[in-house]
Amino acid sequence: MKILLTGRRGQVGFELQRALAPVGEVYAVDQPDCDLADGSAIRKLVRTCKPDVIVNSAAYTAVDKAESEPALAHAVNAVAPRVLGEEAAMLGAWVVHYSTDYVFDGTKQGAYTEEDLTNPLSVYGRTKRDGELALQESGARYLIFRTSWVVGAHGCNFAKTILRLGADRESLNVVADQYGAPTSADLLADVTAQLVRQRQREGDENFPFGLYHLVAGGETNWCDYARFVVAEARALGKSLKLSPHTIHAIPSSEYPLPAKRPANSWLDTKKLRNHFNLELPGWQSIVRHVLQQILVV
C-alpha cells in the first residue's frame, strides 16, 4: 500500500511517519515539496504519487494570524482538502484528514458530538469547517478526525511554552475559562495507523468511513493544564522557577487575542470508540508521556 502524507514536519505529521512506516510505503511531503495553497501543485503531486490513501496532516494552524490572512488560511484549510478528495476519488484512493474543536462556538453545556451544528468563531475555525465540508462533497471516501489541544515531543505547543516560561518566571497568569482535552500527536498517529490497517484488512464494504471526534479522555482548562505540566515536570527533575501554586487563573477577557476561542471544546468520542472498539487514554497520562519524552533522556 502506498501512502501520501502531507505536513510531515508538523507535530502530527512527524508522528505519522513513525506510525505509518510499518503499514505501507510512505511518501511524506511538506511545504517545500508541495504548496497546499496551489491546487495545481496538489493535483500534480497526487497524480505523480498515485497513492492508495492520502493522509492530510498539513494545515494552516496559526489561529490568530489567520485573522489577517483569511485567503491563505482558506486555500490551505478549505480548498486543499477538496482538491485532495477529488484526486483521491479519481484514483480510487481514500483520505484521512484532521480537523479541530474550533469548528464549534463553545456555548454547549457538555461534550460536542459529531451531529452537533458547527458555528466557528474565527477564520481558522471557519476554514477548517469548510475543509470538512469540501472533503465530504469531493466524492472521496474519508476519515475526518476532529481533535483538540495537540501536544507532542516534536514541534511547538502549549506544554513546551509553559516549560520555557517556567524556567524564567516565578508566576504566570493563564486563562481558566476555556475547556478541552490535551491530545497527543502520537495518539492521533497511532489511531490513524490502526484504522488504515483495519481498512486494508476489511476492505470498503464494512469499513465505517466518516467524521469522528478523536481526543484524549476527560477535560481540563488551560490554567489547570499548565499547573499539571509544571507539577509533572518538577516530579521528573526539571528545574523550574515556576510552581503550580504560582500559576494564577484569569478569565479570557483579561488575555484578549485576535481570534476568539470557544469556551467549551470538549468533544464526545463515543462514536469513534464504539465503531472501532477503541479505548482512549485520559489527558493526564497523555501529557505525562509527552513530558517524559521531552525531559527524560
Report which residue type is found at 146.
R
Calpha distance 239→230 (Å, rounded): 10
Secondary structure (DSSP) of 186-208: HHHHHHHHHHHHHHHHH-STT--
Per-residue b or e along 16-49, where b marks 16 or more CB atoms closer than 10 Å to that residue's CB: bbebbeebbebbbbbeeebebbbbeebeebbeeb
Q: Which of 27, 60, 112, 124 is catalytic?
A: 124
DSSP 116: S
Q: Among all chains, which residue has been given the C-alpha cell 476554514? A: 127
Q: Among all chains, which residue has been given the C-alpha cell 485520559? A: 282
Per-residue b or e along 182-201, where b marks 16 or more CB atoms closer than 10 Å to that residue's CB: bbbbbbbbbbbbebbeebee
* Catalytic-residue membership of 124: yes
220-221 and 179-180 strand pairing = antiparallel
* Residues designated catalytic: 124
